[in-house]
Amino acid sequence: MSKRELVKRLAGFNNKCLRLVRTYNFNTTFVEQARHYYEYLFKSQHFPIKKVLDMRYYFSTCFQKMSVKADMDEKLVDNEVFHSNFALFKALHAEVETQANDLINRERE
Protein backbone atom coordinates (compact mmCIF):
# COMPACT_ATOMS: atom_id res chain seq x y z
CA MET A 1 0.00 0.00 0.00
CA SER A 2 1.41 3.39 -0.95
CA LYS A 3 1.64 6.29 1.46
CA ARG A 4 -0.92 8.18 -0.61
CA GLU A 5 -3.40 5.31 -0.28
CA LEU A 6 -2.73 5.07 3.46
CA VAL A 7 -3.38 8.79 3.93
CA LYS A 8 -6.58 8.55 1.88
CA ARG A 9 -7.92 5.66 3.93
CA LEU A 10 -6.91 7.22 7.23
CA ALA A 11 -8.66 10.47 6.31
CA GLY A 12 -11.81 8.56 5.37
CA PHE A 13 -11.74 6.60 8.62
CA ASN A 14 -11.19 9.76 10.68
CA ASN A 15 -14.10 11.51 8.96
CA LYS A 16 -16.39 8.53 9.57
CA CYS A 17 -15.39 8.46 13.24
CA LEU A 18 -16.15 12.16 13.59
CA ARG A 19 -19.49 11.72 11.85
CA LEU A 20 -20.57 8.75 13.95
CA VAL A 21 -19.52 9.96 17.39
CA ARG A 22 -22.19 10.05 20.08
CA THR A 23 -22.09 11.30 23.65
CA TYR A 24 -21.65 7.81 25.09
CA ASN A 25 -18.44 7.21 23.08
CA PHE A 26 -17.13 10.79 23.28
CA ASN A 27 -14.27 10.10 25.65
CA THR A 28 -10.61 10.95 26.13
CA THR A 29 -9.50 8.12 23.85
CA PHE A 30 -11.64 9.46 21.00
CA VAL A 31 -10.26 12.99 21.40
CA GLU A 32 -6.65 11.74 21.53
CA GLN A 33 -7.24 9.56 18.47
CA ALA A 34 -8.71 12.50 16.56
CA ARG A 35 -5.70 14.64 17.54
CA HIS A 36 -3.18 12.00 16.39
CA TYR A 37 -4.97 11.50 13.07
CA TYR A 38 -5.17 15.25 12.53
CA GLU A 39 -1.46 15.74 13.28
CA TYR A 40 -0.41 12.89 10.99
CA LEU A 41 -2.65 13.96 8.12
CA PHE A 42 -1.64 17.61 8.22
CA LYS A 43 2.05 16.72 8.24
CA SER A 44 1.59 14.32 5.34
CA GLN A 45 2.84 15.38 1.93
CA HIS A 46 -0.04 13.52 0.24
CA PHE A 47 -2.96 15.42 1.76
CA PRO A 48 -4.69 17.61 -0.86
CA ILE A 49 -6.52 20.84 -0.07
CA LYS A 50 -9.93 19.22 -0.73
CA LYS A 51 -9.27 16.69 2.01
CA VAL A 52 -8.32 19.52 4.37
CA LEU A 53 -11.67 21.16 3.67
CA ASP A 54 -13.45 17.86 4.25
CA MET A 55 -11.64 17.36 7.55
CA ARG A 56 -12.49 20.87 8.67
CA TYR A 57 -16.15 20.26 7.79
CA TYR A 58 -16.33 17.02 9.78
CA PHE A 59 -14.58 18.53 12.81
CA SER A 60 -16.97 21.50 12.71
CA THR A 61 -20.03 19.27 12.41
CA CYS A 62 -18.91 17.10 15.31
CA PHE A 63 -18.11 20.17 17.41
CA GLN A 64 -21.51 21.71 16.75
CA LYS A 65 -23.31 18.46 17.52
CA MET A 66 -21.45 18.01 20.81
CA SER A 67 -21.91 21.65 21.84
CA VAL A 68 -25.67 21.37 21.36
CA LYS A 69 -25.71 18.15 23.38
CA ALA A 70 -23.58 19.75 26.11
CA ASP A 71 -26.04 22.62 26.44
CA MET A 72 -29.33 20.73 26.03
CA ASP A 73 -28.86 17.28 27.57
CA GLU A 74 -29.72 17.27 31.27
CA LYS A 75 -27.49 14.27 31.90
CA LEU A 76 -24.42 16.07 30.57
CA VAL A 77 -24.83 19.41 32.34
CA ASP A 78 -23.09 18.16 35.50
CA ASN A 79 -20.87 15.55 33.84
CA GLU A 80 -17.31 16.75 34.49
CA VAL A 81 -15.69 14.03 32.37
CA PHE A 82 -17.73 14.99 29.32
CA HIS A 83 -16.97 18.68 29.79
CA SER A 84 -13.23 18.09 30.17
CA ASN A 85 -13.24 15.98 26.97
CA PHE A 86 -15.33 18.63 25.26
CA ALA A 87 -12.82 21.32 26.27
CA LEU A 88 -10.00 19.24 24.73
CA PHE A 89 -12.01 18.75 21.56
CA LYS A 90 -12.86 22.44 21.43
CA ALA A 91 -9.15 23.29 21.48
CA LEU A 92 -8.50 20.69 18.77
CA HIS A 93 -11.33 22.08 16.67
CA ALA A 94 -9.87 25.59 16.93
CA GLU A 95 -6.47 24.25 15.90
CA VAL A 96 -7.95 22.45 12.88
CA GLU A 97 -9.77 25.63 11.83
CA THR A 98 -6.61 27.72 12.15
CA GLN A 99 -4.42 25.25 10.25
CA ALA A 100 -7.02 24.80 7.50
CA ASN A 101 -7.46 28.55 7.07
CA ASP A 102 -3.69 29.07 6.95
CA LEU A 103 -3.30 26.35 4.35
CA ILE A 104 -6.13 27.76 2.24
CA ASN A 105 -4.64 31.25 2.40
CA ARG A 106 -1.22 29.91 1.31
CA GLU A 107 -2.84 28.13 -1.62
CA ARG A 108 -4.53 31.33 -2.75
CA GLU A 109 -1.27 33.28 -2.79
Predicted pLDDT of residue 6:
81
Q: What share of the chain is helix, strand, coil (3-state, %, to 5)?
A: 85, 0, 15
**Average pLDDT estimate for 4-15:** 86
Residues 13-72: tens digit of each pLDDT: 988 889 888 888 889 999 999 999 988 888 777 778 888 888 899 999 999 999 998 888
In whole angstroms, what separates CA 40 from the centre of its chain?
12
23: Cβ contacts below 8 Å, ≥ 6 apart:
66, 69, 73, 76, 82
pLDDT band at 92 (very low <50, low <70, confident <90, very high): very high
